[in-house]
Chain A
Amino acid sequence: MSDGLSAEHQDIWRFVGDNAGAWDIAGEIPRTVLTELGASGVLCAEVQKQYGGLGLGSQESGALTAHAGSLCSSLRSVMTSQGMAAWTVQRLGTRDQRAMFLPQLIGGRLAAVAFSEPDAGSDLGAMTTELRFVDDTVIVDGSKTWITAAAYADMIVVIGKAGDNAAAVVVPADAEGVRIEKIPHPTGCRAAGHARVRLDGVRVPAANVLGGTGLSLPFLVTTALAYGRMSVAWGCVGILRGCLDAVTEHARTRQQFGKPLAEHQLVSRRIAELYAAEQIATAVCRHASERWDSGSPDQVIATVLAKHVSATQAVQGSASALQVMASAGASDGHVVARANRDAKLMEIIEGSSEICQLELARHALATGNSSVRQEEAQ
């Protein structure tokens, strides 16, 4: 069984590792690379086998996501978008819609999911993108911004309001009235294809509206984001693993004051910090993925915890890594320079650290310490 990491994919991953720095500097991943990865199923590896996907569980998919993230967070961000689009189709779509869209997503077509707007970031309830139904057509008007992978996307899952409710609609990127403009010079994940998406009277078949229109916006957003948060969390594990590889190699080999860096205690403390960060992030992601794989309702809060903790650890760990690398890691394109910039973005996207903390606090206040008691009872 392919898990996206086996021998058949090794050449492409080696190619990614060799070129990630250049893509970061260019601000772009060659489309052929994304198309090839897409057609091999690894960009949304949890799509079920009945649709032609790899059918990975959360744990296996997490390992793949971390591997991609250790090489190139821009590519990993594209995976997050593709996976979230597939998950949204899987979760919200009807049987016919799953059969129509999922094979495309593992067939080389690329997708993005559009939530945020210029005036609706953390406060997604303020979004103004609107879906209007006219006979069997839906007309989409709105403006989305900072949409990861939108610059590459063949289709965009647009979240908008439909009357008093909300809906997700699959909009082809080449539909009339769609304009996609790249965000110039993002500080992190520079080749992830972040873009502004303008939708002016875009007409698509009503059959592209996933599932229906009776959904509440917070519920729809929570559902769609769940996959993205797991993906970002595992991506942060990857960031830390990429740093750990570079830093341990550097500290063993670079000599200062007549001995390797690693033998200077103040330097080795930084390595310990980085190692601890990687272990903490891995543990919290495994915890959440286990709950996804077992179908436990605890997956919901475990996902928020994994995203928040991993992003925080990635920021701290990559800062320690850059301090050890010093000038050797301080050029754009270097794996640790990228890690440092990319990790910061992970505290912002897919629910900022502050939004995650609000959700964690609400959960703690509602349940008291019952989750601790439950685990002790197991």
Chain B
Amino acid sequence: MTPEQQTEKAPFDTDAVVDEITRFVAKQTRTSPEADQDLFATGVANSMFAMQLVVFLEQAYSVTVAGPDLQLSNFRTVKSMAALVGRLQADAAADSDV
């Protein structure tokens, strides 16, 4: 894909994704997470919830989170999840599956 083609695509709206992920976490945990709050260190998330987050991101953004991307650091904060989604969508556009 050339740079020109990339600019034609709708830009990845990080703020909107951060908002959506925040709403999901808030609903599932009855907390109000900050975008850069460590969800594991603050007791909001555990491994079960991490897996829910994986499936949520896959369903909501049509991405596959597999292999090395399953590192917990990708799910530590709402921001890190949004960054993961952004990267996976860019990878999918460039057809560089893991």
Query: A residues near B, CB below 8 A?
Result: 90-95, 97, 210-212, 214-216, 218-223, 226, 295-301, 304, 359, 362-363, 366-368, 370
Contacts and interface: CB of A to CB of B under 8 A. Distances in A.
Pick the 10 closest A-B CB pairs, nearest first: A218-B47, A211-B67, A212-B68, A297-B56, A214-B71, A216-B72, A295-B59, A222-B47, A297-B55, A297-B52
User: Is chain B's binding surface mostly helix, strand, loop or mixed?
Assistant: helix
A214 B68 contact: yes
A295 B66 contact: no
B98 A296 contact: no
Interface string B26-68: 0111100000000000000011111111111011000000111
B30 A95 contact: no
Contact of B98 (A94, A219, A226, A304): A94
B72 A359 contact: no
Contacts of B51: 219, 222-223, 226, 300
B70 interface: yes
Contacts of A95: 97-98
A208 B11 CA distance: 37
Nearest to A374: B27
Given A295-B58, A297-B56, A301-B48, A211 B70 contact: yes
A211 B48 contact: no
B73 interface: yes
A301 B52 contact: yes
28 contacts: A91-B70, A92-B67, A92-B70, A93-B67, A95-B97, A210-B67, A211-B67, A211-B68, A212-B68, A215-B70, A215-B72, A216-B72, A219-B50, A219-B70, A220-B70, A222-B47, A222-B48, A295-B59, A296-B59, A297-B52, A297-B55, A298-B52, A300-B52, A300-B55, A301-B48, A359-B48, A362-B46, A370-B30
A83 B2 CA distance: 41
A322 B9 CA distance: 65
Contacts of A216: 47, 71-72
B24 to A, nearest CB: 8
A165 to B, nearest CB: 8
A207 B97 CA distance: 17
Contacts, number: 86
A210 to B, nearest CB: 8
Interface centre among B24, B30, B50, B67, by most chain A C-beta atoms within 10 angstroms, is B67
A296 B68 CA distance: 22
Contacts of B52: 297-298, 300-301
A267 B55 CA distance: 46
B94 to A, nearest CB: 14
Contacts of A226: 51
Contact of A296 (B27, B55, B67, B73): B55
Contacts of A223: 51, 54, 70
A299 B53 CA distance: 11
A211 B29 contact: no
A91 B71 contact: no
A362 B48 contact: yes
B29 A367 contact: yes
A295 B55 contact: yes
A347 to B, nearest CB: 20
A212 B67 contact: yes
A363 B72 contact: no
Contacts of A363: 48
A218 B40 CA distance: 12
B73 A214 contact: yes
Contacts of B49: 300, 366
Contacts of B72: 215-216, 219
Nearest to B59: A295
B55 A299 contact: yes
Contacts of B48: 222, 300-301, 304, 359, 362-363
Contacts of A211: 66-68, 70, 98
